[in-house]
Amino acid sequence: MSTTEAMTSRQSEKQRHDDRAGRLERLRHAIEHAGHLLPSQGPITVFVHHNTLHAFEDLPFDEAVKSGGKTFGCEPYLAEERYREALERGRIRAVDLEAVLRRDLSRRSDEPILSLGTRFDLRLAMLTHSIQSGPAAELRWFVAETDALERIRPDAPPAARERLLADARRWAQPDSIEARQGTQGRAEEDRLHKIMADALHHFGDPTKNDWSSRTWEKFMLQTLWRICREGTRNLKPVAASPPAITRHRDLLFQATACDIDLLVNDVLIRYCAAYLDQGFAHRLLPDRDRGFFQSFCTIHRQPFGSPERWQRGLEQELTRLQDGQIGPLACLAESLDRLGIREEKWDQYLSATLLSLRGWAGMIQQVESRSDRVVHAIRPGSLVEFLAIRLVLERFALQFVAREALGYTGPLADLPKAAKARIPHATPPVAEKRAFVVFQLAQLLGWTPSELHRLSKQEWSTLIEEIESFSNIDRRRILHGAYERRYFNQALDAVATHAKRSASRPEKPWFQAVFCIDDREESFRRHLEEASSDIETFAAAGFFNVPIYFKGAADAHYTPLCPVIIRPKHWVTEEVAHPHHEEHVRRTSLRRAIGTATHRIHVGSRTFTSGALLSAGVGLLASVPLISRILLPRLAARVRQSFSRFIEPPPLTQLRLERTEETAGPEGGHIGFSVEEMANAAEMLLRDIGLTSRYGRFVLIIGHGSSSLNNPHMSAYGCGACAGAYGGPNARAVSQMLNDPRVRTILAERGLPLPDDTLFVGGFHNTCKDSVTFYDVDRIPASIRADFDEVRKTIEETCDRNAHERCRRFESAPLSLSPAGARRHVEERSEDLAQPRPELGHVTNAVTIVGRRSRTRGLYLDRRAFLTCYDPTQDDADATILLRLLQAAIPVCAGIGLEYYFSHVDPQGYGCSTKLPQNVSALLGVMDGAASDLRTGLPWQMVEIHEPLRPLFVIETTPEVMLNVMERNASIGQLCHNEWILLATLSPDSSDLHLFRDGVFQPYTPETTELPSAKSSFDWYSGWRNNLDFAQIPA
């Protein structure tokens, strides 16, 4: 018997153990799941644009923004007033709004609402007019203090106005009053009679003294108002479900107005920053390598710690956890038990808890999962440990606040009940609010007092329900749809109309230039093409199919130059030409000496002794750079540049591109590509962009990047295809490959012969300063040097003109600037410490066009289009090239467009609001002021003039091919099907467009086939600051 007992007990112990293990496993899983909601922005030095609501991509856009908004407490669309303002200035037309509303209502659109008109009319009125609403007190003030009861709304249509006044006149006729007095009996009639009698009593007899029209108006409005109040009285209250409250903190906050997150975050922000620090603080966090949990325990269990009263007992608790070998998961489970969170609520509770410090939690998750992107990696499992510590702290804070503010000392599991009891349950009065809405709608739609008074209680309920079913978010959804429709139609019309003008490639091009697909290069290409019809431009993703780790001659480390999803397999270095080697060594050591000294000063100035010596001794000298850099930024930059010319590496350098060893690696002979690999990369680039014949004398391949000061978000302005870095080295590398005779031999064998007299030249476009520099110019043979100088001159002029077009968007740049003046202006911007808008980045992006340039050449796209070159006539039946291109282009361009969308519609929640008070923390991100959650998303200065639209894609292919691509790539399919992006195809051999809507391609009928034309881009844009319409430009 004893053996059986022992066995059962052992069994049950084992079972308990299994249960426990299973439970912890489920907990780990729940955390993983909750973690999906965290922002996926990594360290700010490698800024990658991505869809802010990526976690909701499995939902259709409109549902996703709604539930995302609920989860994060953010706005789904712009505010209603912004759309109405757009409606007023014609950015949204009435036809757009009507079309979108009809489409949304479809068959329900013409259903009558009682006898008061159709649903369509009601909703349209609610969309086009702003309906005042607010708390009862505000409405009471509004009614009493404004002329709401004296004048009909000025925006009421004349017909409605007439109708209302006529009704009032008819009503006040003595015979009609008498007639109504006859029909005694019905309670409503009685009440109405009373209202009338009151009003008449107040205003006097209309038959005796001649009422002015204003008096009639007043009389009518007061009657109407009273009828509305009467009608909406005692209706069923809104059946809105109260927002689900998951966290104890929320309840306690509502009951006591004390926010425990303030206490907890104060500790955690500092600690998270110290844990994640990438080398800013002088002192390393003790026990950092043992992980978040252990390190926190080690530090916070010390005796004589914080005198903060809410932390009393924390030392003992942490000692217990650490000495009792209680791991983070077990600790977490324990905390959840104490808080009384049942297992089925874990997901909800944990995600709400994580989101209360989402920036830091998200960064922990990012650093943990992408250890290759940071200097100081952290241990896996840090997010779990973070959550464990967070809950321990929350328990202490909850206990403290419950005791101090609520007088509650019981177990935490019962705290919600105690807190709920203390929340005052006053349902706000809604009758007046409803009355006021009906009152306003009646004026807009001409619902007369007599019509309204005839409604029964039941009918009033129906009316109110109908009005309230068209909520604020639904209105904004429709308004937003109209806002988008206007631009989409304009864009599609322009593309369709322009595509009719069949342009062909120049027979003998002078030179060709390949740029990044970036929207900022659109204007550059256009200006270049306007310079001569013999110039051709192309575009490919800015790493030009050469994903590399690159180290420049003056760089300390390799930088990955390719989209983040790719991990490069090749390493490339820049080396100083041999004759200058000694000079290079000398300058390197000079730079090192200066760098070391600067670093010493930088650090020393913040310490006790060196700081005192520096500031008292030479501190006054700091006034020279201080004053000069702020008052004369451009001059100061010039001086610095001429100084740095003596310490930079010598200008003659070359890339180490070819490896001698079998395998690729970062050292010695492993650096570089094999000839075969070079040929592959080069071939892929040429085939992707369709540049397979008619080569010019020169083919320029130009990467891009952006330079600015005082800008933690600098990498968000860089080349997206190079993870925010400079794409110059990629352009240089691929040019060098294409010039290599061995590569050319292989290409010729593969059916891609390159003419011997075609030279590829790599370059770099600084999109902030608008400067273009070329690489390896010293290798251009003397015989064609003069030709190249001609090319260079054209590029320089294009820089000026491009800068000029950009300057129209800067309010601080006068519209009267000359192109050269504009160039100076943008140069100054990039060198000015006081400039929060060095450039405007992708702010105007709206559309992506994938196709041959000949289809869009000469179309003024206003820097709003990503242009990817793709020649459908050269693709195979499987659309291999298209799939490859879209796999990169759709996530990147949609990511940019959607991130701008969300950062603009809710700059505080999705964006990181203004950058002016921001503070770089842990070398990883920015905070607001001295301590806040880490701010993700884009700053307001970057998105301010953005038009939030879903990205529109126009792809030159057939609907069948596109459907095939969508099927083969699930993530593209999902984005299209759920309408995160709007998709249209342009037929390769006609100007027919097909629009992808509701899961199918439908032919698109252009609204217009007119397209304005202008002599040049300059003519079209000069004098304007806002977004411009499409136009045809000879090019």
Partner 1 sequence: MLTETLLAWIVVGAPTVLLCVLGAWSLTGRRLSERFMARAVQAAIVAGLLASSAILTIMLVSDSRHIVIEVGHWVVVPDYHFSLRFMFDRLSVPFVILSYVLCGTIGSFGSRYLHRETGFNRFFVLYAVFLLGMVATSLAGTIETLFAGWELVGLSSALLVAFYHERPAPVRNGLRVWSVYRVSDAALLMAALMLHRMTGEGNFDALMGTGSWPFGEATITGGQALVVGLLLVVAAAGKSALVPFSGWLPRAMEGPTPSSAVFYGSLSVHLGAFLLLRVSPVLALSPLLCGVIVALGLTTAVLSAITERVQTDIKSALSYASLTQVGIIVAEIGLLPPLLGPWACYIPLVHILGHACLRTLQFLRAPTLLQDYRLLENAIGARLPRSNALLQLLIPRPIQIWFYRFAMERCYLDAWLDDFVVDPVLRLFQSLDGLERRWTTFLAGRPSHPREHVQPTATIFEER
Q: How far is the CB of 843 from partner 1 (least distance, A)?
A: 13
Query: Between residue 944 and residue 963, which ones bind partner 1 under the rule CB under 8 A?
Result: 944
Q: Which of 161, 218, 226, 300 contacts partner 1 by CB under 8 A?
A: 300
b/e burial code for range 981-1003 (CB count within 10 A of at least 16 → b): bbbbbbbbeebbbbbbeeeebee
- 598 binding partner 1? (CB under 8 A): yes
Report how far apart, in Å, the C-alpha atoms of 659 and of each of 90, 562, 662, 669, 672 are. Answer: 60, 20, 8, 5, 4
Q: How far is the CB of 834 from partner 1 (least distance, A)?
A: 4
Q: Helix-strand-coil percent breakdown of the chain, rounded to 5?
A: 55, 10, 35
Q: How far is the CB of 417 from partner 1 (least distance, A)?
A: 19
Query: N- to C-terminal Cα distance for the chain?
Result: 99
- 7 binding partner 1? (CB under 8 A): no
Q: Which stretch binds partner 1 (CB under 8 A): 30-38, 162-170, 306-314, 736-744?
A: 306-314
Burial class (CB in 10 A: 0-12, 13-18, 19+), 375: exposed
- 421 binding partner 1? (CB under 8 A): no
Query: Between residue 17 and residue 56, which ones bind partner 1 under the rule CB under 8 A?
Result: 44-45
- 930 binding partner 1? (CB under 8 A): yes
Q: Which of 555, 582, 989, 1010 contacts partner 1 by CB under 8 A?
A: 555
Burial class (CB in 10 A: 0-12, 13-18, 19+), 374: buried
What stretches of 552-641 adopt beta strand conformation (E)? 559-561, 570-576
- 619 binding partner 1? (CB under 8 A): yes
Instruction: Output 337 or 648, the one with its CB closest to partner 1.
Output: 648
Q: Which stretch binds partner 1 (CB under 8 A): 610-618, 727-735, 866-874, 975-983?
A: 610-618
- 270 binding partner 1? (CB under 8 A): yes
x-or-dash string of contact with partner 1, 648-677, rule CB under 8 A: ------------------------------
Which tokens is 766 given? Answer: 């600084």
Burial class (CB in 10 A: 0-12, 13-18, 19+), 519: buried
594: how many CB neighbours lie within 10 A of its CB? 12
Tell me which residue of 267, 550, 528, 251 sits closest to 405, measured CA to CA. Answer: 251
Tell me which residue of 147, 220, 230, 196 sits closest to 431, measured CA to CA. Answer: 230
Residues linked to residue 699 through DSSP beta bridges, in sequence order: 512, 760
Q: Which stretch binds partner 1 (CB under 8 A): 26-34, 297-305, 882-890, 1015-1023?
A: 297-305
Contact 348, 246 (CB under 8 A): yes
Q: How far is the CB of 245 from partner 1 (least distance, A)?
A: 8
Instruction: Output 7 or 931, the one with its CB closest to partner 1.
Output: 931
Q: Which of 282, 342, 425, 645 contacts partner 1 by CB under 8 A?
A: 282
Q: Which of 1, 187, 239, 620 contacts partner 1 by CB under 8 A?
A: 620
Q: Which of 94, 565, 612, 820 contacts partner 1 by CB under 8 A?
A: 612
Query: Between residue 889 and residue 928, which ones bind partner 1 under the rule CB under 8 A?
Result: 908, 914-923, 927-928
- 137 binding partner 1? (CB under 8 A): no
Q: Which stretch binds partner 1 (CB under 8 A): 83-91, 380-388, 704-712, 947-955?
A: 704-712
Distance of alpha carbon 82 from alpha carbon 94, whole angstroms = 16
Q: Which of 139, 273, 722, 888 contacts partner 1 by CB under 8 A?
A: 273
Query: Between residue 66 and residue 95, which ones bind partner 1 under the rule CB under 8 A?
Result: 69-70, 73-74
- 878 binding partner 1? (CB under 8 A): no
Distance of alpha carbon 121 from alpha carbon 108, whole angstroms = 12
Contacts 24+ apart (CB under 8 A), 285-288: 288/378
Return the amino acid letter for 973: G
Sign, Cα dihedral of 35, 39, 43, 49: positive
Q: Report the side by side order of strands in the sheet with 982-986.
A: 865-869, 847-851, 952-956, 982-986, 993-997, 1000-1004
Instruction: Output 193 or 422, the one with its CB closest to partner 1.
Output: 422
Counting residues that bind partner 1 (by CB under 8 A) gives: 107
Q: Which of 450, 472, 854, 1022 contacts partner 1 by CB under 8 A?
A: 472
- 706 binding partner 1? (CB under 8 A): no
Q: How far is the CB of 226 from partner 1 (least distance, A)?
A: 25
Query: Between residue 995 and residue 1024, which ones bind partner 1 under the rule CB under 8 A?
Result: none
Q: Which of 11, 207, 471, 971 contacts partner 1 by CB under 8 A?
A: 471
Distance of alpha carbon 604 from alpha carbon 783, whole angstroms = 55
Instruction: Output 179 or 281, the one with its CB closest to partner 1.
Output: 281
The DSSP annotation for 713-729 comes to TGGGGSBGGGTTB--HH
Q: Which of 7, 179, 820, 931 contacts partner 1 by CB under 8 A?
A: 931
Contacts 24+ apart (CB under 8 A), 464-467: 464/232, 464/235, 464/434, 464/438, 466/113, 466/119, 466/122, 467/122, 467/126, 467/434, 467/437, 467/438, 467/441
Q: How far is the CB of 266 from partner 1 (least distance, A)?
A: 9
x-or-dash string of contact with partner 1, 237-256, rule CB under 8 A: ---x--x------x--xx--
Instruction: Output 173 or 306, the one with its CB closest to partner 1.
Output: 306
Q: Which of 21, 95, 585, 594 contacts partner 1 by CB under 8 A?
A: 594
Q: How far is the CB of 156 from partner 1 (least distance, A)?
A: 23
Residue with tokens 């080398």: 279
Q: Which of 89, 107, 208, 283 contacts partner 1 by CB under 8 A?
A: 283
Instruction: Output 780 or 833, the one with its CB closest to partner 1.
Output: 833
Return the amino acid letter for 39: P
Q: Which stretch binds partner 1 (CB under 8 A): 366-374, 540-548, 833-841, 1012-1020?
A: 833-841
What stretches of 336-395 adopt beta strand conformation (E)? none
Query: Between residue 371 and residue 400, which ones bind partner 1 under the rule CB under 8 A?
Result: 375
Residue with tokens 């020279």: 624
